[in-house]
Structure formats: structure tokens, C-alpha cells
Amino acid sequence: MNVNLDGTAEQCLAEALSAFDFGAPVVGALRYGQGHINDTFVVHTQPENACCGRFILQRISAAAFHRPDQLMENIVGVTEYLRREILNSGGDPERETLRVIRPRGGSLYYTDSKGGAWRVYPFIENTVCYQMAESPALFAASGRIFGRFQRYLNGYPAHTLHETIPRFHDTEDRLRKLKDAVAADKLGRAAQCRREIDFVLERESDCSVALQALRKGELPLRVTHNDTKLNNVLMDKDTGEGVCIIDLDTVMQGLSINDFGDSIRFGANHNEEDERDLSKVNLDVGLFESYAQAFLEGAGGALTANEIAFLPWGAKLMTLECGIRFLTDYLDGDAYFHISREGQNLDRCRTQCKLVADMERHWDELRKTVSKWL
């Protein structure tokens, strides 16, 4: 089950709650959402003469993030910049970007007595967080807002961002770590995953494709989100449009094709990430196209022709890389991704392999689709 390096979040919840001023008495705090990484709570307050209020309180995962100070500096830098861009475009920054609510004392987050790092955001109301693309229009709306994220942050000095997880989307390094985990085989699970291990090893040279293009200067580094799955964007309950991009922990310098690709990995099919019936897991080329068109529209010309041409590679590599990460975590004993049942990380790996195989089957179609916008 999940490893919390410093005990369960509940042990320090009361302490964390008392570190922040929520502007009204707190009447409850409950586990919330379906993220795989942080411990997330919704906090309810009851002001004396007004409607109840809600906040998001999170304990930042210590297994994933070793420098919460740097991570929070990135988030404050980027959200304050976004705030100005949103205002310039006539939008509502309170709703369209996160805002860090500081604990008493003025730091960006609270450190509890066991060393856990906690932060608070306003709860963005009247929105829905989808776990699956229920329609092409909904998926396109998420593409538009992730594309807009690229456009808004085009002028942000990307090199000033801290690397919150070293080599996060370095697929070559992810492969090396998988090989180490297979060699160590700590829990004797490797024999059970031979097919998945071989599937990845057969694609060893693929792992270098985007990194080679970066090294050759064919792809630029930008401010990227790096975790662009559908449940990291809040959609308007009434209009279905994207409202706010959340989960900014991995905002760093990166490749735009990875932001595109991670969304396709998660959203361009009709099943959950841990679906066990692989016959149901298929790439929907129509969803790929809807998302790509909307992403480019939202980016409003910010991407180069090379970036557009490499979009199918972004999709394939983010899916392969995520499969590698799930498999590595399974072999290592599920220390990184939260799980709710035994074998879940292996099931997640299997859906990613199936999607990669499907992308390969549709490769010419995917390339033809993006060539329309070159």
C-alpha cells in the first residue's frame, strides 16, 4: 500500500489545519480527489453570516518531491505570472489559476512536526474534475486550456524554474531505472512481468527519440506542466469549458510534445488507467485529432513546425514512459504511486503497453493528422 515516508497524513492533519487562517471556523476536513501522489483534503469552513467555504489542503508527497521549498517557489512564480496574463486577457484569475494561501508566519507552506509539507489553495467552485473523456468536445476543451497554458507562459523565463523531480521526463533514465529494478527484483515480481519488460526493451531506441531531437536543437525547452492528464484540469460545470489547470508540482522546463502526449496517454481512450480487460483499451484516433486541433488552437501559434511534427512521438513516448514508471514501481514495491489494490501498478503498466501498441498500429494516421497543421 502507499508508503508515507513520515506517517499517515491524518496524524498531522489537525496540526496542519491550525497553521492556516481560513477566514472562518473549520467544520470539517475530508480526503478528496483521485490523485496518485499527494495527500489531498477538502476543508469546509462555516463563516458566521455567509455560505460555507471550501479549500484544498494538501500534504506534498515526500516520496515524489524532495524540495518542497523549490516546488512552492515555482508554483508561486508561475501562478502570479498567469494571474497577470489572465487579467490582460479579461479573465478572472481567482477562478482560472491556483492561488497559494500562505500559513501564518509568511512562508509558502507549513512544515509539520514530522517534516511533512502542507499547502492550501482556494477550492475552485462550480467545476468538475473528469477521470475520463466523456465526449470529444470535453476532451477538446481540455486541449484548448493546456494549449493556452503554453501561450500564456511563452514569455516566462523557463530556465529560472527549479527541477522539482530530477530527470522527470528523461525517458532514457526511466529505462535505466527499470533495468535496475529488474536486476534487483526486490520482491521476486519480475518473472510475472516478463512480457511487459520485453515489450519495453524492444522499444529501447524509441526512448531516445525526443531527447535526441532536443540535443540536436530541433525541439525547444519551454515552461511545461509535465502532468497534463484530464484530472489535472477543472472544467466548468455548466459550459464544459476548461477553467483552471491544477497540480502544478511538476511545472518545469520541458518539451511541449510531452504536455501534449501525456494528455493523449490518459484521455484518448475510453477506459480507466488501470482497466484489466485490455480488449477494451484502445487509442481513439478521433479523440487524438480533436485534442491536437484544440491544443494547437489554444497555443495560438506558440509552437514550432518541428514541435507539431513530433506530436505523435510525444504521445507514444509519454505512454511508454508512464508504462515504464508503473512497472518500475511495481517491481520496487509500490513506493511511489498510490495504490488501492495489489497489482494495480502492473495493471496500469499493461494498459500503457496496449496503448503504445495501438499507437504504433495507427502511426501513419497520427502523422497524417498532425501534418495538416504544419
| 330 close to 200: Cβ distance less than 8 angstroms | no
| 127 close to 98: Cβ distance less than 8 angstroms | no
Is 323 among the residues that bind Mg ion (CB under 5 A)? no
How far, in Å, CA of 185 to CA of 174, rounded? 16
Beta-strand ranges (E) seen in 192-317 are 222-224, 233-236, 242-245, 252-254
Beta-strand ranges (E) seen in the chain are 26-31, 39-45, 53-60, 110-111, 117-122, 127-128, 222-224, 233-236, 242-245, 252-254
Report what 273 binds from ligand GN1, Mg ion, ligand ADP, none; CB cut-off 5-8 Å by kind: ligand GN1
Q: Which of 306, 329, 145 is nearest to 228 (CA)?
A: 145
How near is the Cβ of 306 to ligand GN1 at its closest, in Å? 24
Report what 32 binds from Mg ion, ligand GN1, ligand ADP, none; CB cut-off 5-8 Å by kind: ligand ADP
How near is the Cβ of 318 to ligand GN1 at its closest, in Å? 8
| Interface region with ligand GN1, contact rule CB under 6 A, candidates 15-23, 80-88, 90-98, 224-232 | 224-232
Burial (CB count <10 Å: 0-12, 13-18, 19+), residue 295: buried
The residue within the footprint of ligand GN1, chosen from 9, 13, 37, 82 (CB under 6 A), is 37
How near is the Cβ of 350 to ligand ADP at its closest, in Å? 21
- Give the residue with the Cβ less far from ligand GN1, 37 or 124: 37
* Amino acid at site 35: G
Report what 64 binds from ligand GN1, Mg ion, ligand ADP, none; CB cut-off 5-8 Å by kind: ligand GN1
How far, in Å, CA of 141 to CA of 217, rounded? 31
Instruction: Give the footprint of ligand ADP on residues 193-232 (CB under 6 A).
Output: 231-232
| 110 close to 12: Cβ distance less than 8 angstroms | no
| 143 close to 56: Cβ distance less than 8 angstroms | no
- Give the residue with the Cβ less far from ligand ADP, 12 or 193: 12
The residue within the footprint of ligand GN1, chosen from 45, 79, 150, 250 (CB under 6 A), is 250
How near is the Cβ of 203 to ligand ADP at its closest, in Å? 27
| Interface region with ligand GN1, contact rule CB under 6 A, candidates 68-76, 140-148, 244-252, 289-297 | 244-252
Q: Which of 32, 238, 224 is nearest to 126 (CA)?
A: 238
How far, in Å, CA of 87 to CA of 89, rounded? 5
How near is the Cβ of 64 to ligand GN1 at its closest, in Å? 5
Is 56 among the residues that bind ligand ADP (CB under 6 A)? yes
Instruction: Give the footprint of Mg ion on residues 215-274 (CB under 5 A).
Output: 232, 247
- Give the residue with the Cβ less far from Mg ion, 313 or 337: 337
How far, in Å, CA of 249 to CA of 258, rounded? 16
Is 36 among the residues that bind ligand GN1 (CB under 6 A)? yes
How far, in Å, CA of 361 to CA of 283, rounded? 10
How many residues of this chain bind Mg ion (CB under 5 A)?
A: 3
How near is the Cβ of 35 to Mg ion at its closest, in Å? 4
How many residues of this chain bind ligand ADP (CB under 6 A)?
A: 19
Residues in contact with Mg ion by CB under 5 A are 35, 232, 247
Residues in contact with ligand ADP by CB under 6 A are 32-38, 40, 56, 98, 121, 123-124, 129, 231-232, 234, 246-247
